[in-house]
């Protein structure tokens, strides 16, 4: 009996082992089949993603996860796709599932899950996860996310109930729109559109009578070309267009290149833009230069560069127009710039409040919009984040502010996949607005002949403190001027022009001009001064186009001209530079000054007393021949040496 039971037991054990092996074999077959189906679904999903069929790609990847629910690769890929499409809640759901089902998933998917929760504006949930991995073991990426979560939590508490509004389908398109710029009268909107994600061009839309916009149209050529034009800025007087152009190559192949700053000009607001010119080597280098913003008085240029000497990445730099030249740029400093990227500067009409984009200051994530109000002339205090919901965990960038300081226009990809930017408008809270300003415009003209007078220099000072606030210049084309000034101040205005007596005036610029433009013409009387007989033109030197060098024959001419006056005691020398009308007035003034300066240096080098030599660049102010011919233009490109004795 015992023997029989023993035999039966061994038979049963062998049968159990055989059944187990059969089950294991069947499981391996099923698993292999499931794995193959999962792999096919994964490959199919990647194919559809490459073909830009994102919806089908996600559907196939979900199938791959269903077939192989413990494989981390499918979770990782699908979560990333959802994140790129700004479907952050779905991304968080996928990463949370991966954390639960994959081996070592909690640690492997902690970072993408925390990031997705931040972008879902769930900072408390993200902090619970972040704190698990930052306690007693600091890590740069985790610490950065923790700072973002803490900032986001406070920003949501302090958020405005008024949300930014899209500018609508007449402005926004399936292509990215960036760099909005609104004119002083808010009647025209300029912006950059990246057509087919390839070609950056300028577009323009006019305001309709219902508070919206007519359909935006390409600005045409000029300024648009087959190259990349972006980040346009129009001066407060409407005469200058500053912008970024990429794919540049200089004649020598290295002095300039890549992305540089360009400038175009128009005689009046109804005329065409001139062919754009590069700024030159004082501003443009082999590094990136772009995204310009000009101060209201046209004397200070803010722009972005990654040149050496910054704080890291892209920084904001400032150049001042002094003595007829754009000076070497100066970094805006640590209150604005960080080791990250600071871009898209916009100096408001009060000439004190700077708005810009940054990914280096604490914010909501991605790039945010910040502001800083300068102290004195050059000190920028630590930047202030404009907060939620202007800034979100998505990318907000390339901002501008209306002249009255109440509304912000900017680009954001909050409504679409990453990088698909649209333009939005938002009301600015009072604490984030620039100082209130008003607009003064008019013409400078001759009181007798009524001729319009260009190149009149208008100095504006605070009448109480005597501090110089701005320097303006009447336009070359029509003698007009436009001044944007802070309200509530009494200004002393001094106007000077060659051949005319100076005009002094006082303007009480009170708050009534916040709602309307002050129209004020400046009338100048030709001075009784008659050119004296003892002013003697002793030499005239001519220059090739865009050149400011002296040849050996030029130096010989200078030496021969000044030799008879070498022993004279009571004489003064005036070295005046002039150009033809090619290009823009601002650059012509700079070029004429350079030419006058090199002639003055040569005069001084030959023994003339430096204190008696006065050089000045007058640009196009004194034509002596017609600019309709090359011969006439050559005659106008000159430097005159005059002896007064």
Placement of tokens 């833009």 in the chain: 273
What's the CA gap between 10 and 36, in Å, rounded? 39
Nearest residue to 338 via CA among 138, 177, 149, 147: 147
Same fold, 438-524 and 535-644: no
- Of the pLDDT bands very low, low, confident and very high (cuts 50, 70, 90), residue 378 is confident
State the Cα–Cα distance between residues 178 and 539, nearest whole angstrom.
52
Mean pLDDT value across residues 246-261: 67
What percent of the chain stands above pLDDT 90?
43
Residue 163 DSSP symbol = P
Using pLDDT thresholds of 50, 70 and 90, give the confidence band for residue 302: very high
Confidence of residue 12 (pLDDT cuts 50, 70, 90): low
pLDDT, tens digit, 9 for 90 and up, residues 423-482: 999 999 988 999 888 889 999 998 887 889 988 999 998 888 877 778 888 887 788 998
Fold held by 535-644: 60s Ribosomal Protein L30; Chain: A; (3.30.1330)
**N-to-C CA span, the chain:** 146
Using DSSP's 3-state secondary structure scheme, residue 133 falls into: helix
Q: Which residue pairs, CB below 8 angstroms and at least 24 apart, start in 425-430?
A: 425/164, 425/165, 425/167, 426/162, 426/163, 426/164, 426/165, 426/390, 427/160, 427/162, 428/386, 428/401, 429/160
pLDDT at 570 over 80: no
Asked whether 434 and 352 are in contact (CB, 8 A), the reply is yes
The pLDDT of 204-231, averaged and rounded, is: 92
Compute how many other C-beta atoms are within 10 angstroms of the C-beta atom of residue 101.
14
Three-class secondary structure of residue 372 per DSSP: strand
Model confidence band, residue 23 (pLDDT cutoffs 50, 70, 90): very low
Quick one: CA dihedral 337, 341, 346, 348, positive or negative?
negative
Write down the pLDDT at residue 292. 97
CATH no., domain 69-157: 1.25.40
Please check the confidence at residue 254 and state whether its pLDDT lies above 70.
Answer: no
Half-sphere exposure of residue 54, counting CA atoms within 13 Å on the CB side?
Answer: 11
Which homologous superfamily is 438-524 in?
A: Immunoglobulins (2.60.40.10)
The domain locations on the chain are: 69-157, 165-432, 438-524, 535-644
Residues listed for the chain: 645
DSSP 449-514: T--B--S-EEEEEETTT--EEEEEE--TTT-EEEEEEESSEEEEEEEE-TTB--EEEEEEE-GGGG
Instruction: Return the SS3 of 293.
Output: strand
Q: Which single residue is written with the structure tokens 């109804």?
A: 270
Q: Is residue 26 scored above 90 in pLDDT?
A: no
Choose among 336, 349, 337, 432: nearest CA to 388. 432
Q: Output the pLDDT for position 3.
A: 57
In angstroms, the CA 223 to CA 215 distance is 20
Contacts of 36 (CB under 8 A, 6+ apart): none
- d(Cα 186, Cα 207) in Å, to the nearest integer? 8
Beta bridge partners of 200: 194
Q: What pLDDT does residue 13 have?
A: 61
pLDDT tens-digit readout, 508-545: 888 888 878 899 999 999 886 455 557 788 889 999 88
By the 8 A CB rule, do 638 and 585 touch? Answer: no
Q: What is the CATH number of domain 165-432?
A: 2.120.10.30
For 39-64, write each residue's pLDDT tens digit. 888 888 888 888 889 888 889 888 88
Tokens, residue 152: 């986001």
């Amino acid at each position: 009996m015992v023997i029989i039971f023993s035999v039966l037991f061994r038979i049963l054990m062998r049968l159990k082992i055989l059944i187990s092996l059969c089950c294991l074999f069947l499981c391996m077959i099923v698993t292999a089949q499931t794995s193959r189906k999962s792999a096919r679904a994964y490959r199919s999903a990647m194919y559809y993603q490459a073909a830009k069929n994102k919806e089908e790609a996600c559907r196939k990847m979900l199938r791959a996860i269903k077939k192989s629910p413990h494989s981390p690769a499918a979770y990782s890929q699908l979560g990333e796709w959802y994140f790129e499409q700004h479907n952050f809640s779905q991304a968080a759901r996928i990463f949370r599932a991966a954390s639960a089902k994959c081996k070592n998933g909690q640690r492997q998917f902690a970072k993408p899950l925390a990031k997705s929760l931040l972008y879902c504006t769930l900072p408390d949930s993200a902090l619970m996860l972040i704190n698990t991995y930052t306690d007693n073991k600091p890590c740069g990426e985790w610490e950065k996310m923790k700072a973002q979560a803490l900032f986001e939590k406070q920003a949501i508490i302090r958020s405005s109930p008024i949300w930014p509004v899209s500018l609508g389908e007449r402005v926004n398109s399936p292509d990215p729109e960036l760099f909005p710029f609104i004119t002083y009268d808010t009647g025209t909107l300029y912006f950059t559109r990246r057509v087919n994600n390839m070609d950056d061009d300028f577009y323009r839309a006019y305001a309709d009578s219902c508070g919206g916009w007519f359909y935006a149209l390409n600005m045409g050529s000029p300024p648009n070309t087959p190259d990349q034009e972006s980040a346009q800025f129009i001066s407060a007087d409407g005469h200058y267009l500053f912008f970024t152009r990429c794919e540049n190559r200089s004649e020598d192949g290295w002095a300039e290149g890549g992305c540089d700053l360009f400038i175009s000009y128009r005689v009046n607001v109804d005329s065409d833009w001139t062919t754009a010119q590069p700024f030159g080597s004082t501003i443009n280098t082999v590094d990136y230069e772009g995204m310009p913003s000009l101060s209201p008085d046209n004397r200070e240029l803010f722009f972005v560069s990654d040149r050496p000497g910054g704080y890291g990445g892209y920084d904001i730099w400032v150049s001042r127009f002094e003595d007829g030249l754009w000076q070497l740029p100066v970094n805006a400093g640590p209150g604005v710039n960080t080791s990250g990227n600071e871009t898209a500067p916009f100096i408001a009409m009060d000439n004190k409040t700077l708005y810009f984009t940054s990914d280096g200051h604490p914010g909501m994530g991605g790039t945010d919009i910040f502001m800083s109000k300068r102290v004195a002339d050059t000190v920028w205090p630590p930047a202030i984040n404009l907060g939620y919901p202007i800034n979100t965990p998505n990318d907000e960038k390339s901002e501008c502010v209306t002249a009255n300081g109440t509304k912000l226009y900017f680009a954001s990809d909050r409504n679409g996949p990453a990088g698909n930017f649209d333009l939005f408008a938002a009301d600015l809270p009072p604490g984030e607005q620039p100082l209130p300003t008003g607009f003064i415009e008019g013409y400078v003209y001759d009181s007798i002949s009524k001729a319009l007078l260009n190149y009149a220099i208008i100095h504006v000072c605070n009448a109480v403190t005597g501090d110089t606030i701005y320097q303006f210049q009447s336009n070359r084309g029509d003698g007009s001027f436009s001044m944007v000034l802070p309200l509530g101040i009494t200004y002393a205005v001094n106007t000077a022009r060659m051949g005319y007596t100076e005009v002094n005036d006082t303007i009480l610029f009170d708050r009534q001009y916040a709602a309307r433009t002050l129209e004020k013409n400046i009338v100048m009387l030709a001075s009784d001064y008659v050119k004296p007989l003892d002013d003697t033109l002793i030499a005239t030197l001519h220059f090739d186009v865009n050149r400011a060098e002296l040849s050996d024959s030029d130096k010989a001419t200078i030496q021969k001209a000044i030799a008879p006056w070498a022993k004279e005691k009571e004489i003064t020398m005036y070295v005046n530079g002039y150009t033809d009308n090619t290009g823009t007035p601002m650059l012509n003034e700079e070029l004429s000054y350079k030419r006058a300066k090199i002639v003055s240096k040569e005069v001084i080098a030959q023994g003339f007393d430096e204190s008696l030599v006065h050089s000045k660049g007058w640009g196009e102010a004194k034509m002596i021949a017609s600019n309709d011919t090359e011969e006439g233009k050559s005659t106008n490109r000159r430097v005159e040496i005059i002896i007064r004795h």
